Amino acid sequence: METDLPRFKLNSFPTGSFAIRSAKTLPQAEFDFSKLPDYKGFTSMGRLLKRCMMDQAGTGSRGNRGFLPPALLTSVLHREVIEHELKEKCPNLDATTMTNKILGGLADDDDDDDNDDISKSENDKKSYLFILAMLALLEKVSEIGRFVEDNNGGIWDRDLPLQLYNGDDGSSELRHRSHSQPMPCFQEWGDNDHEKFDDYQWRLLVPTFALNNDKTIQHWELEEKEILPWCEEKLQSNSETMSGGYGSVKKVKIHPLCHEFHEHLKALNVSGGVFAIKTLKHKDVTMFQKEVDMLKKFNGLVHDHLVTLLGTFTHKEEFSMIFPSAECDVDTYWKYYNRIPNLDDIDFVRWVSNQCRGIMEAVTVIHNPPLHLTKTELFGRHGDIKAENIFWFKSPQETGRGIWVIGDLGLSAFNREKSRSMVPNQTITWTPSYRPPECDLEGGVISRAFDIWTLGCFYLEMICWLLGGWELKNHFDNARSTTYINGAKIDIFFDLQRNGEDQSDQPYIALIKLQVAQVINDLHRHPNCTNYVHDLLNMIENDMLIVISTEKLRGESPALLKRLNNMHQRCIGEAKYCMKKTPEPHRLVRVPTGTRARLAPGAKEMVRKNSMQDKLPTHRLEDGKRYHQSLSAEGFAKMNLNDPEEARFGQNLK
């Protein structure tokens, strides 16, 4: 016999339930009711419903032979249609009386929540509209009387869905979920009829997604047979789904009468209709809960530049999340949607400045959240900022340029104050291109400074695109590709070299790649460079792309945000600040300062395994130069911990 799916219970998540609702309760839904077929063009109610199910499923039916949103059923099967069908199929019944009973509490199209409360005047609230619909699909409307008679073992809409039991002898039987006794109204049916009824009930009882009444995120535990109301699945640029390390994401169009996010999408100022469904690869409910909790703390309702989680669900033992759909990630936006930026458009330049400011502000919110747990402040980090994890949402207005939004909080983590910077580098899953040096240095920990490095990488790539379009950005990617300790060519922003001065104590030197320093210099010299870009480049070089040492730490997000806010205000108030070309043609490359360090155990093993000891370049000091000293394990642990001012200005931490 068929068994129930495992029922995962998520912390503080309500379980969705089937609700009978009129389409009039979804006034914001963009749905053209005038396109519904006229019942007069069909020989039976069943054929009308089959046509509607196929039309509403669109291209997203995936072989399920269509579905019909519950909220639409009252519009398709209105009083006139029901009475007409009853007169045709049930001449011995009083069509008007039976129609009133079938519609029951739905007759007034009442959009009040009391419609969902069957404890009040239960007989008056009963309806049989879904029962009638399934009988019509089975061409059994004439049997409606057996289903509406309570004293004859009838059933009503609230009894749905019924459970299909498969016997050992191959028989099939429908039973109520609250008991396992056979139901009299089905006694004359054969196995095939039971199975068809089961199929049709799931095609009519598709879920409707929404926030809770208090605007909090809701979770649905869907059964295996429930049909997801996707009426269209859109391909991602050149692939059907885009997969990440933690799950796959696909774009879907949820039927407009199967979600209640219309007003929320307008509030977020993003184009509606299409959603991103992220399905996690793992089936660990704890991991799922952790990511959802993170998204609930930080979403578009908290900050415009953070991705908004709209809902979550489990289906076929997979965990999924619902987001507004971005048009693409920022890397794709640079490459395909705005390959050569128009630097003569001051509104565009100001928009870019505002996106840079907004992204830093969102990171600041993550780093210093306005939340408390047992009166102890929590500190967060994102952990995977990159162009592929920052998304471009189109504006619903034709003239709008949209917004860049940080997504994929799967790597995000929060720690109490005493441990916020003490996550060992061995535990991090890093992004190859943007990984910071502390991933491979002895004693290195993954702290909020991790995000400052990765955001600096993003800003530098963004400036390449801004001044020279996608071609310059792509050239930068290729220019910094060098052989690393894993034996492969990768485009990270720092290098590890052998210490040519002292190989006994600290045999390695960590430093910004010369190619990165050269690109920064080239951008200062670029004919399109402005004072705004000079200031942004200086912030990246002096406060973000820093190999952490006793002499120098990275800037903190609040201080960096303050600078970006001031820069953006100058873009608004002083046109020449962001529009007048002020290249520095005689500027010389600032040679990166090396930092003496020992490698973390994992990095040492990588060097040994790939025989890289003698293949790495040797670093030697120039006359008058000296090395910086890498932080000790204790120094890393103190970073951003006990003395924010000390951390901010890079004082000596030994």
Encode pLDDT of 21-59 as tens digits: 555 555 456 788 888 888 888 999 999 999 999 888 776
Q: What length is written for the chain? A: 654
CA distances from 239 to 190, 296, 546 (A): 45, 29, 37
Cβ pair 619, 498 in contact under 8 A: yes
Residue 205 pLDDT more than 90? yes
**Cα angle, residue 456 at apex, residues 308 and 549 outer, rounded to 5°:** 125
Cβ pair 207, 226 in contact under 8 A: yes
CA distances from 120 to 110, 117, 343, 647 (A): 14, 6, 65, 63
CA distances from 98 to 95, 140, 508, 574 (A): 5, 15, 86, 74
Residue 533: closest CA among 585, 463, 580: 463
With bands split at pLDDT 50, 70 and 90, how would you rate the model's confidence at 13?
very low
Point out the domain boundary residue: 296, 324, 352.
Answer: 324
Dist CA 489 CA 510 (whole Å): 17
Dist CA 303 CA 309 (whole Å): 12
482, 429: one domain? yes
**What single letter denotes the amino acid at residue 34?**
S
| H or E element in which residue 274 lies | strand 274-280
183, 239: one domain? no
Strand, coil or helix: 424: strand
What share of the chain in percent tops pLDDT 70? 76
537 token code pair: 């480049």
261, 129: one domain? no
Report if residue 573 sits inside a domain. yes
Strand, coil or helix: 372: strand
Report if residue 493 sits inside a domain. yes
Please tell me what DSSP assigns to residue 435: -
Report if residue 368 sits inside a domain. no
133 token code pair: 């619909």
Report if residue 160 sits inside a domain. yes
pLDDT digits (tens, 9 = 90+) for 465-523: 999 999 999 999 999 999 999 888 999 999 999 998 766 677 899 999 999 999 999 99
With bands split at pLDDT 50, 70 and 90, how would you rate the model's confidence at 248?
confident
Residue 231: its pLDDT value, please?
83
193, 279: one domain? no
Split into its structural domains, the chain has a count of: 3
Residue 1: its pLDDT value, please?
36
| H or E element in which residue 557 lies | helix 557-573
Cβ pair 641, 421 in contact under 8 A: yes
Cβ pair 229, 67 in contact under 8 A: yes
- DSSP string of 215-251? S--EEEE--TTPPP-EEEEE-BTTBS-EE-SSEEEEE
Burial of residue 145, with CB atoms counted within 10 A of its CB: 0-12 exposed, 13-18 middle, 19 or more buried:
middle
Please tell me what DSSP assigns to residue 500: S
298, 232: one domain? yes
pLDDT digits (tens, 9 = 90+) for 525-553: 999 999 999 999 999 999 999 999 999 99
Residue 647: closest CA among 546, 534, 532: 546
Residue 645 pLDDT more than 50? no
Please tell me what DSSP assigns to residue 76: H
Q: Which residues contact 5 (CB under 8 A, 6 or more apart)?
A: 223, 224, 316, 317
What is the span of the domain harbouring residue 431?
A: 422-649
296, 430: one domain? no
110, 71: one domain? yes
Report if residue 359 sits inside a domain. no
Dist CA 596 CA 510 (whole Å): 7
Residue 112: its pLDDT value, please?
46
292, 192: one domain? no
Point out the domain boundary residue: 309, 324, 339.
Answer: 324
105 token code pair: 């509490």
Residue 239: its pLDDT value, please?
35
pLDDT digits (tens, 9 = 90+) for 312-328: 999 998 899 898 888 88
Q: At residue 639, what are phi and psi to the nearest 5 degrees?
A: -55, 125
Residue 427 pLDDT more than 50? no
CA distances from 91 to 87, 145, 147, 493 (A): 5, 12, 17, 81
Report if residue 5 sits inside a domain. no
125, 103: one domain? yes
Cβ pair 433, 490 in contact under 8 A: yes
Dist CA 217 CA 208 (whole Å): 14
Report if residue 183 sits inside a domain. yes
Report if residue 227 sits inside a domain. yes
Q: What is the CATH number of the domain that holds 233?
A: 3.30.200.20
Q: Which residues of 591-602 are buried (b: 16+ CB within 10 A; e: fewer)?
A: ebbbbbbebbee
160, 306: one domain? no
459, 594: one domain? yes
Average pLDDT, the chain: 80
Residue 28: how many other CB atoms lie within 10 Å: 14
505, 608: one domain? yes
Global model pTM greater than 0.85: no
